[in-house]
Chains A and B, each alone.
Chain A
Amino acid sequence: MKLFRFSSPATFYPLAGKLIPSFAVVATATILVGLYWGFFETPDKLGGTNPQKEYYRIIFIHVPAAWMSMWIYLVLAAYSAIGLVFNTRLSFMLANAAAPTGAIFTFLALWTGAFWGRPSWGTWWDWDPRLTSELILFFLYIGYIALHSAIDDPRRADKASALLAIVGLVMLPVIFWSINCPDPNQCAALHQRSSMSQMEPNILWSMLIMTFGLWMYSFVAIFMRLRSIILDREADTTWVKELIAQEKR
């Protein structure tokens, strides 16, 4: 069936290898453009209801990293579900390959948030709903990776950790709506509700470009990791043996 043509590790391995350089070029270019725009074409200070000084420029890495942390988790859970339903090896391998990159972005979102919170709110950390739920997302990534590596049989490890990933999906709406504070006097939410149309256009665009750049980067990292996972788990197959024999020549 044509739909499943690239769903076998043997066909996806060379395809991923061909795609990696293009993703790397696009990622590098967009990240550089985003950083230049963000640092040189934006105002130094923000006025309005929420005055911010130069430290607000952390936004160009903080928001993209936080968005990617949630997006990669969604991708991880989706591939886990596809793997459980269709019993396709490649889906589980993709989920496996995505987890460490997602964990890195989650950690980066928390870290840059602390570095923003210190000058802005006067504290590195607070048990605010959004910060807490993002921290739980980080633990979910770690739990997924740990559970998978704790089970020796790879097929059982795939299924058990896929189930964990799907259950953990409940955290995404919690993170997303954790800013819904109807009355600021009743509950304190450090992240305020904001809409893209209210943002200064230069800041908005640099942020969106950086998000795209980090997204392209995650393709590079995840495909590289996927290729190693495929080689590892398909080591006994003839196509991997032929591939190794060819590389030696």
Chain B
Amino acid sequence: MVEFFSQGGYAFYVWGSYGLGLILLIAELVQLRNRRRTILARLGRLMRVQSKTQGGRRQSET
């Protein structure tokens, strides 16, 4: 196990490469998930505001 992690003394280079790869891919996925949530929340708010103003108009018309 120790032998595996030391990679013949080149642990810094090997894990430095794979570590950044892992970080970048996970960060991209997290960012994408957050972006989707933000957009859905914004569109949901927009819909609520629009339906409220439409309802208000209908009430004032009658």
Point out residues on A near B: beta carbons under 8 Å. Answer: 39, 44-45, 53-55, 57-58, 61-62, 65, 100-101, 104, 107-108, 111-112, 115-116, 118-119, 217, 220-221, 224-225, 227-228, 231-232, 235, 240-241, 244-245, 247-248
Q: Does B36 contact A104, Cβ atoms closer than 8 Å?
A: no
- Please judge, given known A-B contacts A225-B32, A244-B40, whether A61 and B13 are in contact too, CB under 8 Å: no
A65 to B25, CA, bound (A): 11
State the 7 A-B residue pairs at the shortest beta-carbon distance, nearest first.
Answer: A54-B8, A112-B17, A55-B10, A224-B32, A54-B7, A115-B17, A58-B17
What are 17 contact pairs spanning A and B, CB under 8 A? A53-B10, A54-B10, A55-B13, A58-B14, A61-B17, A61-B21, A112-B20, A115-B17, A221-B29, A224-B33, A224-B36, A235-B43, A235-B46, A240-B43, A241-B47, A244-B43, A244-B47
Count how many chain B residues have C-beta atoms less than 8 Å from C-beta atoms of the other chain: 26
Q: Name the distance in Å between B9's Cβ and chain A's nearest Cβ.
A: 8
Q: Does B47 contact A119, Cβ atoms closer than 8 Å?
A: no
Q: Name the distance in Å between A118's Cβ and chain B's nearest Cβ.
A: 6
A221 to B35, CA, bound (A): 12
Given contacts A107-B24, A118-B13, 13 further A-B contacts (CB under 8 A): A39-B4, A44-B8, A45-B8, A53-B8, A57-B14, A61-B18, A62-B17, A101-B28, A104-B24, A119-B10, A220-B29, A232-B39, A244-B43
Q: Name the distance in Å between A240's Cβ and chain B's nearest Cβ.
A: 7
Q: Is B16 an interface residue (CB 8 A)?
A: yes
Q: Is B55 an interface residue (CB 8 A)?
A: no
CB < 8 Å neighbour of B13 from A115, A225, A232:
A115
**B24 / chain A contacts, CB cutoff of 8 Å:** 104, 107-108
Q: Does A245 contact B36, Cβ atoms closer than 8 Å?
A: no
Point out residues on B near A: beta carbons under 8 Å. Answer: 4, 7-10, 13-14, 16-18, 20-21, 24-25, 28-29, 32-33, 35-36, 39-40, 43-44, 46-47
Q: Is the interface of A mostly helix, strand, loop or mixed?
A: helix
**A101 / chain B contacts, CB cutoff of 8 Å:** 28
**B16 / chain A contacts, CB cutoff of 8 Å:** 115
Q: Does B40 contact A231, Cβ atoms closer than 8 Å?
A: yes
A54 to B29, CA, bound (A): 30
A58 to B25, CA, bound (A): 16
Q: Does B36 contact A227, Cβ atoms closer than 8 Å?
A: yes
Q: Name the distance in Å between A171's Cβ and chain B's nearest Cβ.
A: 22
CB < 8 Å neighbour of B25 from A111, A217, A227:
A217
